[in-house]
C-alpha cells in the first residue's frame, strides 16, 4: 500500500488485498465466506480475487461435496505448486538451508559442518550457494525468495557491518554475492542477524509471548528483542549485541576490542574450554552423567549470562527470556544460574519475577526464521507476488 494521504493506486490496492486473502489462508484453510467476514471485503470482491488466486495456482479449493443439504462450505488451501521460501544460515561452524511452504511446512533441509572462521568470503559464498541448491529442485514449485541468517551485525541494506567470529563476513554484501552465485534477483534475498531471525521464528511458534528476549547461544551470543510482537532492530539494525555487553570492566579481552564481554564467559568456546571438552555433544553427554566439572562450567556460564541479561532487562523491561541454540540444549543446568542473577539484579523481579524458558523452536530456529521473513515480506503488501 502507498503511505501518506495520497489515495492508493487501484493496482496497489488489489495486490494488497490478494496478499491479505492469501495470508489469511496461510494462517488456516478457509472458505470464501470466512475470508469475507475476516477481511471485511464484500463476498463478490473476495470471490473475484479467490478465482484469480486459484488461477495463479496459489490456492486450491476443495471439490464440491456430493451429498448433504444446503451449500457446504468448500475450504481454500495452499496450492501444491504455490511458491516456496528458502532459508539459509551461515554460522561459525556450519551452513544450513531449509525450504518451506508459505505456511511454514518443511519440504527439504540441509546442514553441513564447515569452519567459517578459516574460510575466505568467496568460499563462504560457495557454501551458501551449494546449501541453497541442496534444498531446491529445478522441477519443484517456484522459489519466492530466500532469507539468509548470518552471525553478525547487518545494516538495513543487508551489508554485514561486523562479524566478530567470522572475520571474512565483515563488510560483505551477502545478498549481492549470493544473488550472483544463484543467478537470481538481488531483491529476492533478505539478510539479517541470526538471533533476530531466530527470535522471529520463536515469535511465530504457538503460544509465543508478545514481549521477550530471545538469546541465541552459539560461539557468539546474540539477542533478538521482540517488543509488542515485533522485532526491535535499533536505529541501524545493530540492537541485541548481548554477547558484547561488558560484565567486567578489566575482564577477558574480546574479539570486538572490548574487555569482559558476556561472550568470553558464556559463549560456546568459553563454556567448552571451562568444561574441558571439545564438542557440544560431549558436553551434553557429560551433563547427562552428572559430571561435576561440566555442571559447574555450565552454571558459571549461566551466571555470566544472567548478569548481562539483568542489565538488559532493567533497561527494556521485558518479562521473558527465551534461551535458544546451545543454551536450549543445556537449559536444565544453565537456567537456575540465569534465574538467580535475574532475581537478584532485575529491579522489577520483586513484583514480577522474570520468566526464563527454553526456546520452542529447535537449533534450526534461525534458518526457519530466514524462510519465514521472506513469506512475511511477500505477504505484507503483495507487490513481489502480484505486480
Ligand atoms: Zn566483545
CATH of the domain at 49: 1.10.10.10
- Cα of 124 to ligand 1 centre, how many Å? 23
Q: How many Å apart are CA 152 and CA 48, to the nearest integer?
A: 45
Choose among 145, 156, 211, 191: nearest CA to 379: 145
Phi, psi torsion values for 158, nearest 5 degrees: 90, 15
Write down the residue that cell numbers 521464528 correspond to: 201
Based on the domain organization, do 235 and 139 belong to the same domain? Answer: no
Structural domain ending residue among the three candidates 78, 100, 115: 78
Q: What is the DSSP string of 171-228?
A: T-BHHHHHHHHHT--GGGEEEEEHHHHHHHHHHTSTT--SSEEEEEESSSEEEEEEET
Boundary (domain end) residue, out of 25, 46, 78: 78
Spacing, Cα 220 to ligand 1 middle (Å): 9
Residues 174, 193: Cα–Cα separation, whole Å: 12
Residues 381 and 14: beta-carbon distance below 8 Å:
no
Ligand 1 center from residue 61 Cα (angstroms): 54
How many angstroms separate the alpha carbon of residue 21 from the centre of ligand 1?
45
Q: Please give the pLDDT value at position 68.
A: 59
CB 216 within 8 A of CB 366: yes
CATH code of 166's domain = 3.30.420.40
For residue 233, the CA-to-ligand 1 centroid distance in Å is: 19
What is the CA(267)–ligand 1 centre distance, in A? 11
Low-confidence stretches of the chain (pLDDT < 70) are 1-11, 65-72
Distance 253 CA to ligand 1 centre (A): 8
CB atoms within 10 A of CB 160: 23
3-state secondary structure 293-310: HHHHHHHHHHHHHHHHHH
Q: How many domains does the chain have?
A: 3
Q: How far is ligand 1, taken at its centre, from the CA of residue 341, in Å?
A: 21
Separation of CA 247 and ligand 1 centre (Å): 10
Q: Are 287 and 295 in contact (CB under 8 A)?
A: yes
Query: Strand, helix or coil at 107?
Result: strand
Q: Are residues 127 and 152 in the same domain?
A: yes
> Cα of 254 to ligand 1 centre, how many Å?
5
Q: How far apart are CA 59 and CA 62, in angstroms?
A: 10
256 C-alpha to ligand 1 centroid (Å): 4
266 Cα to the center of ligand 1, angstroms: 12
Same domain? 150 vs 275: no
Q: What's the CA gap between 7 and 177, in Å, rounded?
A: 38
Distance 335 CA to ligand 1 centre (A): 23
- Residue 354 shares a structural domain with residue 215: yes
Q: How far is the CA of 251 from the centre of ligand 1 (A)?
A: 11
Alpha-carbon Rg of the chain, whole angstroms? 23
Question: 265 alpha carbon to ligand 1 midpoint, in Å?
Answer: 11
Distant-in-sequence contacts of 58-64, Cβ < 8 A, 24+ apart: 58/22, 58/82, 58/83, 58/385, 59/22, 59/25
Gap from CA of 252 to ligand 1 centroid (Å): 9
Print the domain residue range for 61. 10-78
What's residue 11's pLDDT? 66
Distance 221 CA to ligand 1 centre (A): 10
Same domain, 216 and 313: yes
Residue 2 located in a structural domain: no
pLDDT at residue 199, as a whole number: 95
**Is there a single domain that holds both residue 231 and residue 329?**
yes
Same domain, 60 and 93: no
- 200 Cα–ligand 1 center, Å: 24
Distance CA 224, CA 135 (A): 26
User: What is the reported pLDDT for 21?
Assistant: 94
- 193 and 98, same structural domain? yes
Distance from residue 161's CA to the centre of ligand 1 (Å): 15
* 137: its cell numbers: 529442485
- Does residue 203 form part of some domain? no
Can you tell me which residue has the cell 475470508?
35
In a shared domain, residues 193 and 322: no
For residue 219, the model assigns a pLDDT of 86
73 and 151 fall within a common domain = no
pTM here is 0.85
d(CA 269, CA 91): 14
In a domain, 315, yes or no: yes
- pLDDT digit string, tens, across residues 317-363: 999 999 999 999 999 999 999 999 999 999 999 899 999 999 998 88
d(CA 215, CA 222): 6
Look at residue 204 and tell me if it is in a domain. Answer: no
Residue 5: predicted pLDDT: 44
- Of 270, 274, 202, 189, the closest CA to residue 231 belongs to 202
232/349 same-domain check = yes
Distance 296 CA to ligand 1 centre (A): 23
Amino acid at each position: 500500500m502507498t503511505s501518506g494521504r495520497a489515495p492508493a493506486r487501484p493496482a496497489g490496492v488489489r495486490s494488497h488485498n490478494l496478499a491479505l486473502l492469501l495470508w489469511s489462508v496461510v494462517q488456516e484453510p478457509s472458505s470464501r465466506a470466512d475470508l469475507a467476514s475476516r477481511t471485511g471485503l464484500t463476498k463478490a470482491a473476495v470471490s473475484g480475487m479467490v478465482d484469480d488466486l486459484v488461477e495463479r495456482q496459489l490456492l486450491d479449493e476443495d471439490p464440491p461435496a456430493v451429498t448433504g443439504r444446503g451449500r457446504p462450505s468448500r475450504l481454500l488451501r495452499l496450492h501444491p505448486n504455490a511458491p516456496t521460501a528458502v532459508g539459509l544460515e551461515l554460522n561459525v561452524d556450519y551452513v544450513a538451508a531449509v525450504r518451506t511452504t508459505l505456511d511454514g511446512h518443511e519440504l527439504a533441509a540441509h546442514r553441513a559442518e564447515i569452519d567459517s572462521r578459516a574460510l575466505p568470503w568467496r568460499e563462504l559464498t560457495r557454501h551458501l550457494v551449494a546449501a541453497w541448491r541442496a534444498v531446491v529442485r529445478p522441477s519443484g514449485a517456484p522459489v519466492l525468495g530466500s532469507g539468509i541468517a548470518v552471525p553478525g551485525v547487518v545494516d538495513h541494506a543487508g551489508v554485514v557491518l561486523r562479524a566478530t567470529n567470522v572475520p571474512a563476513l565483515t563488510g560483505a554484501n551477502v545478498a549481492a554475492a549470493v544473488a550472483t552465485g544463484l543467478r537470481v534477483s538481488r531483491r529476492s534475498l533478505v539478510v539479517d542477524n541470526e538471533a533476530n531471525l531466530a527470535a522471529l521464528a520463536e515469535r511465530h511458534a504457538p503460544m509465543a509471548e508478545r514481549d521477550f528476549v530471545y538469546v541465541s547461544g552459539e560461539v557468539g551470543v546474540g539477542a533478538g528483542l521482540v517488543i509488542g510482537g515485533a522485532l526491535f532492530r535499533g536505529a541501524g539494525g545493530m540492537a541485541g549485541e548481548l554477547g558484547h555487553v561488558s560484565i567486567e570492566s578489566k575482564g577477558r579481552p574480546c574479539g570486538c576490542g572490548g574487555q569482559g564481554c558476556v561472550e568470553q564467559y558464556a559463549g560456546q568456546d568459553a563454556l567448552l574450554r571451562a568444561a574441558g571438552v571439545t564438542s557440544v555433544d560431549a558436553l551434553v553427554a557429560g551433563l547427562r552423567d552428572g559430571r561435576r566439572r561440566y555442571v559447574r562450567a555450565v552454571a558459571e556460564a549461566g551466571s555470566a549470562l544472567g548478569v548481562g541479561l539483568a542489565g538488559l532487562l532493567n533497561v527494556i523491561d521485558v518479562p521473558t527470556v527465551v534461551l535458544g541454540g546451545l543454551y536450549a540444549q543445556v537449559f536444565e543446568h544453565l537456567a537456575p544460574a540465569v534465574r538467580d542473577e535475574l532475581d537478584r539484579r532485575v529491579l522489577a523481579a520483586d513484583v514480577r519475577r522474570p520468566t526464563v524458558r527454553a526456546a520452542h523452536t529447535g537449533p534450526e530456529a534461525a534458518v526457519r526464521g530466514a524462510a519465514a521473513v521472506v513469506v512475511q515480506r511477500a505477504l505484507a503488501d503483495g507487490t513481489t507476488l502480484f505486480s
